Structure 1
Amino acid sequence: MQTTRISWCDYSWSPVTGCSHAGPECWNCWAEEFMKRQAARDDAPKYMDELEWTQENAEEVVDTHPDRLDEPIEYTFPDGPGRIFTVSMGDLFHREVPESFIRQVIAIARQLPEHEFIFLTKRPERAAAVDVAWPENALVGASVGSGPGGEFPDTTHRIESLRGVDARRWVSFEPLIEPIGEVDLTHLDWAVVGGENASDDVRRDMDHAWAREILEQCRRDGVPFHFKQSSAATNESGTRFTVKNEDYGIFEQRKIREYPPVPEVTKRARE
């Protein structure tokens, strides 16, 4: 467990590490590069800083960490209860993660209603298939970065796959690498948008016009909108969002960082 600079959460917890590329948004995965650097510094198995996060390497790369399951219970939260990014260094719903372990992770969230546990996956269809009763303080999301008819394979089908998850739901449009187009957001509780965080030689830039289209659809469907960052070499850079001031007919930069309502179970636990 640790605090984090990610704008949409307060803490991160990774009882699973490692993943495999599931779409074009994964090509410059910051978690993959971070884990490789960490493995090179620590006395970790050599393969961890050599193997790419490909489908073929998944069995070796994806690890579960039973010793980390109790971290949220034992951790002293320096800023009090908050939003916990659950599995920030992997994907809890990867095929290499046993369903029994997934249920154990979700059980920890149920034990700590004073916190919101934020799950993010590129495999929402598996999240929907897990035989578990989701606690009210869970927020389950999918990553979507590309739309139909663009340069990259379409990932918007993940938005629809979330309908099968019986929990509060959200979408992370990060990294947003091309326009998404028209999507139905009515079943969502939150949308986050961000550009790619990668070095200058590989980073794909995000046009703020693409993010504005998502903002307009969020306003249409009544979904809170959170602009995380522009495309940049470092995380949380370019946090101001170029939007149109309708009163004056000009474009200006603002921070728009909205959050979904805190669930009732969490409100009660914090009283």
Structure 2
Amino acid sequence: MTQQTKIEWTDFTVNFWEGCQKVGPGCDNCYAEERNGRFSAGANWGPGAPRRLVKGGPAKLRKIERDALSFHREHGRWPRVFLSSLCDVFDNAASPAWRIDLFRAIEAAPNCRFQMLTKRVGNVFQMIPPAWANGGWPSHVGLMITVVNQEEANRDIPKLLDLKARLDIPWVGLSIEPMLAPIDLMVTSSKGHDIQSLRGVAVDPTDPDGADEYYRTAKIDWVICGGESGPKARPMHPDWARSLRDQCWEAETPFLFKQWGEWIPGEFDVPPEIRWQAFPVDPTDSNLLPEMDGNPRWNNGLEFLPTDTHCLFQKVGKKAAGRILDGSEHNGFPEALT
């Protein structure tokens, strides 16, 4: 049995249903929504849209579990299974009965290593089975959340770390894709506390004794970073990816660089229609916006890309852009997935 998905950080994708709705800026150009539009005329996307049951999902997962031992012999590890690539397990609009079936199927597949990804971390505790919420979280299931900027990191990472500690989740991770802004994981702020989420340390600056009070917290076990793909993709500044890589290296946290996306950074002599620029200027001041051919609307309708360094991008497509960061592939995985 070989890998059956092109997603670099997993081996298989399994969906028990299809459909979702946008909940943040990272959803603006959702590939799953575009796919649903092509195959189902968009009937399963957006507020009030019914989710579509994927009848082959359970059978696919059973087959992966049956073949897990042969996969282990071939690869030296158990198969990684991404739940769910075309929906969100913790979507309010999904049928609770479908979710119950999904959790039962997960429990029946102990030789799979599940990567459960959500944009709705606030729903997790209320939607998992009672046994999972009372000390029975399965040891072969990890929990990941998507964050795309510092605001989402500050809002959702503390919730994820609280769940990890509260439910004894074996590992938790971040999917920072598409990365739309720089993110500092060493100073994730929550309720006045600065959390170093890669180290599992927090500081309370309101200590009445006048000194910062440090205490231990749960920590992030894995970070995935990637740029956006698709016809409306936004560029990812290389300094943002480098910063994440360096933060993870310093904290000894596994880091995986998934892709540049449609745009690759560099210095290019290309036509304006496939070129995009970022400059260290205030995007709110129209007088400072650089001109291209006498027209300040040089970014082809994309939002201004805030950054501290000048950078040019060329739109070459996901495959051509590749996933090499500063001359190397970065393929870190948490120990539970290796």
TM-score interval for Structure 1 and Structure 2 normalised by the shorter chain: 0.7 to 0.9
Q: Which residue of 1 aligns with 2:259?
A: 229
Distance 1:143 1:235 in 2: 23
Change (3 A) 1:236 1:176: farther
Q: Which residue of 1 aligns with 2:227?
A: 195
Q: TM-score, normalised by structure 2?
A: 0.63
Report the alpha carbon displacement of residue 214 of structure 1 after superposing the two structures with TM: 1.5
Q: Which of these residues, 54, 60, 64, is aligned with residue 71 of structure 1?
A: 60
Is contact 2:44–2:51 with CA below 8 Å preserved after alignment?
no
1:53 aligns with 2:56: no
Paired residue type of 1:195: G
Q: Which residue of 2 aligns with 1:238?
A: 322
Q: Which of these residues, 165, 175, 180, is aligned with residue 177 of structure 1?
A: 180
Distance 1:16 1:52 in 2: 10
Distance 2:88 2:42 in 1: 20
Larger radius of gyration: 2
Distance 2:329 2:98 in 1: 38
Runs of 4+ aligned structure 1 residues displaced above 6 Å come to none
Query: SS in structure 1 opposite 2:85?
Result: coil
CA displacement 1:149-199 (0-9 Å, x = unmatched) = xxxxx4541222212252221110000011123432332221100000111
Change (3 A) 1:98 1:156: farther
Q: Which residue of 2 aligns with 1:215?
A: 245
Matches within 5 A, 1:1-271: 3-37=4-38, 39=39, 48-51=40-43, 53-54=45-46, 56=47, 59-65=48-54, 68-75=57-64, 77=67, 80=71, 81-132=78-129, 133=132, 134-148=137-151, 154-163=152-161, 164-165=163-164, 166=167, 167=169, 168-181=171-184, 182-183=187-188, 184-185=197-198, 186=200, 187-199=219-231, 202-232=232-262, 233-234=317-318, 237-242=321-326, 253-262=327-336
Report the alpha carbon displacement of residue 50 of structure 1 after superposing the two structures with TM: 4.2
Distance 1:235 1:254 in 2: 16
Q: Which residue of 2 aligns with 1:44?
A: none
Distance 2:67 2:179 in 1: 32
Name the stretch that deviates more: 122-131 or 23-32. 122-131
Change (3 A) 1:211 1:128: farther
Query: SS in structure 2 opposite 1:3?
Result: coil
Is contact 2:226–2:257 with CA below 8 Å preserved after alignment?
yes
Report the alpha carbon displacement of residue 211 of structure 1 after superposing the two structures with TM: 1.3
Is contact 1:7–1:236 with CA below 8 Å preserved after alignment?
no
Is contact 1:64–1:97 with CA below 8 Å preserved after alignment?
no
Distance 2:250 2:52 in 1: 41
Change (3 A) 1:77 1:32: farther
Change (3 A) 1:102 1:220: farther
Report the alpha carbon displacement of residue 15 of structure 1 after superposing the two structures with TM: 0.5
Report the alpha carbon displacement of residue 111 of structure 1 after superposing the two structures with TM: 1.8
Distance 1:19 1:11 in 2: 20
Q: Which residue of 1 aligns with 2:267?
A: none
Query: SS in structure 2 opposite 1:140?
Result: strand
Is contact 1:86–1:120 with CA below 8 Å preserved after alignment?
yes
Is contact 1:156–1:180 with CA below 8 Å preserved after alignment?
no
Distance 1:112 1:52 in 2: 28
CA displacement 1:94-116 (0-9 Å, x = unmatched) = 00124443233122222222210
RMSD between superposed Cα atoms in Å: 2.5
CA displacement 1:193-239 (0-9 Å, x = unmatched) = 0000111xx21100121112222222333321111011214369421
Is contact 2:121–2:159 with CA below 8 Å preserved after alignment?
yes
Paired residue type of 1:108: A
Report the alpha carbon displacement of residue 67 of structure 1 after superposing the two structures with TM: 5.4
Distance 2:320 2:6 in 1: 8
CA displacement 1:108-155 (0-9 Å, x = unmatched) = 22222221011111001111333431211111111011124xxxxx45
Change (3 A) 1:236 1:29: farther
Is contact 1:162–1:169 with CA below 8 Å preserved after alignment?
yes
5+ long unaligned stretches in structure 1: 40-47, 149-153, 243-252
Q: TM-score, normalised by structure 1?
A: 0.77
Report the alpha carbon displacement of residue 82 of structure 1 after superposing the two structures with TM: 0.9
Distance 1:72 1:52 in 2: 22
Q: State percent identity of aligned pairs.
A: 25
Q: Which residue of 2 aligns with 1:248?
A: none
